[in-house]
Structure 1
């Protein structure tokens, strides 16, 4: 059996000048891997996330979730003495992460040239909406804007064509947090192998665009994006779709491969459906596919969620109940001590 080992980033010191979600989530993940993270906020209100809760005057759960385990420090970076205090900390730090608009760090006297002069092996990661240079670099934005600019929001639409706002901030978390962690770890590795410090420029819009794989493939294949709800993974086939039950709950069917679809069809007593599959030539989003989706929807509409899932108990064909967040937290798969605060999904052993 694997045995626990020290967290891999033990001994790494990170200065976190970020706020809200993308940067704090990135440094949280690094902290969960053993890094020492010092979060530096401006005096007064500090990180706006502190007040982003339903109860005025209370420290928000949002702030607590993404900043747990960090040391908290207040510095006024417009003050020369306190700015020098930060620069002194830079000398012993491994990483500095910031999410100001491009140019702000330089105007504060904390640009890349200044920082690397104080610490030649420092890794600096700058997270921004549109990158440090370019026609939109200085524009304000949030998750919805970056998704819109990257062509992803248009793809997240129902049959009426209106883009939906998912309660998972893809640009902030995939484009910002995950891309920053990836860049920081790569830069740290280069430094530990004897290289100089690195400046890591993370544009959330560019990162989302780079991960927008299936829509990019559709454009490469056909010259235009797929219609909303008509692509292989967005509702254009019966074997990969979401269906409403009689109690207004939902079932997710992910029987994408033919073997899973055949088993699904056998389980619901409709072996005649098995030949209607994209791998056997059914046109994705075509009339036959849409008719089959309606037929499968009719099957699930006659069952409540419990009865529907009972039909698939022990059947390995990629059918899942669509759980609410509170149900997911209490499920046998995810329930464990400490889940009331989000823990890293990564564990290490030797």
Structure 2
């Protein structure tokens, strides 16, 4: 089993959401992650707490701060998700920690960042993605903005980018002997995740409104449709050959006479597809398109997804203590295995 971060040590200060997600990613990649929690509080639990060593300290006591600094002194990186200034008040700020270990990478996870007018203001994922433009872009035409869970701010634009930043900074530290602070702000990360949409918008290929564009549900060939059993399928046949396969699959070949990318035709095409899809159940459509390139998949619930044949074949989820949890991603495959079967554990 390849563990690319084997030999890396990370000290994590226990928190909620994106910072623990970062710690989980680093641990799953093979890093030794030592989580410092609050004395008297229960140890972190659940999928985000996987793969840690845990130590409880009272960071209001000088001797416990000293113990934390001793751990930092032998670590490659530190990650924390507290408000700006809290670690400094605890005596564990970047300058103090750097004095103990010059190559230390100091990863900081916040919503607004370490500076800026909102840096010391409370907020949550929904607030951070709101000022990035991401929240405005998600939703049905003419409808309210739709909250995309807390995937865009906390996890995609937060914890995952913190993990990327920490690993990048560790590579730099090993080459130069000099650590640095990684200032990971969810506002920055969510905006960066919107790079392609901002590019489309600048080029005049994206309207600044919801549900009328190629990838936001506006296109009839890239959206979800309700089936006869009130479940859903996802259709993503963007390319012409896939679009043709889909239209033939639902018996709507006559619609192929209309230019696929001509928006004036989209309402008519969408209405016809919706009527047709509503005549069969989700699983009937999934079976109808199985093995085709029409880009049609069932929309699975949290209970169904771990049992899907593709997910079980790849070991995408693991069952522990009677519950399913996603496995480590991405996979790391030895060259000798690259053209054959991949070990689920790698």
2:18 corresponds in structure 1 to 22
The counterpart of 1:341, out of the listed 311, 325, 343, is 325
Q: State how far apart, in whole Å, the 2-side matches of 1:85 and 1:297 are.
A: 62
Shift of 1:149: 1.7
Structure 2 unpaired stretches of 5+ = 335-346
Asked if 2 retains the 8 angstrom alpha-carbon contact of 1:128 and 1:202, the reply is yes
Change (3 A) 1:249 1:16: same
Deviations 1:171-218 (A, max 9, x none): 000111111011011011111223301111001111101111344134
Aligned ranges 1:1-350 → 2 under 5 Å: 4-5=1-2, 7-45=3-41, 63-222=45-204, 225-279=207-261, 282-283=262-263, 286=264, 288-335=265-312, 336=315, 338-339=318-319, 340-350=324-334
In structure 2, what is the Cα distance between the partners aligned to 1:212 and 1:148?
12
CA-to-aligned-CA distance 1:239-274 (integer Å, 9 cap, x gap): 111111111011111000111101111222222212
- Hey, what's the Cα distance between the residues in 2 that align with 1:308 and 1:348? 34
Q: In the alignment, is the contact (CA less than 8 A) between 1:157 and 1:164 conserved in 2?
A: yes
Contact 2:141 2:218 (C-alpha < 8 Å) held by counterparts: no
Aligned residues: 327
SS in 1 for 2:54: strand
Deviation at 1:232, TM superposition (A): 0.6
- Measure, in 1, the Cα distance between the counterparts of 2:41 and 2:147: 29
Is 1:18–1:97's contact at 8 Å kept on the other side of the alignment? no
For the Cα contact (< 8 Å) 2:126–2:150, is it kept in 1?
no
Question: Match of 1:55?
Answer: none
Unpaired runs of at least 5, structure 1: 51-62
Is the partner of 1:274 in helix, strand or coil?
helix
TM-score of the two chains, using structure 1 as the length reference: 0.88
Partner of 1:56: none
Secondary structure at the counterpart of residue 309 of structure 2:
coil
Q: Is the 8 Å Cα contact of residues 11 and 35 (structure 1) preserved in structure 2?
A: yes
Shift in Å at residue 276 of structure 1? 2.9
- Looking at structure 2, the residues matched to 14 and 299 of structure 1 have their Cα atoms a distance apart, in angstroms, of 54
Alignment TM-score, normalising by the size of structure 2:
0.89
Instruction: Tell me how far apart the structure 1 counterparts of residues 88 and 163 of structure 2 sit (CA, whole Å).
Output: 23
Q: CA deviation at 1:334?
A: 1.2
Partner Cα separation in structure 2 for residue 78 and residue 142 of structure 1 = 27
In 2, the alpha carbon distance for the partners of 1:275 and 1:43 equals: 69
Call closer, same or farther: CA 1:70–1:178 in 2, change over 3 Å: same
For residues 169 and 97 of structure 1, what CA distance do their matches in structure 2 show? 20
Query: 2:325 aligns to what SS in structure 1?
Result: coil
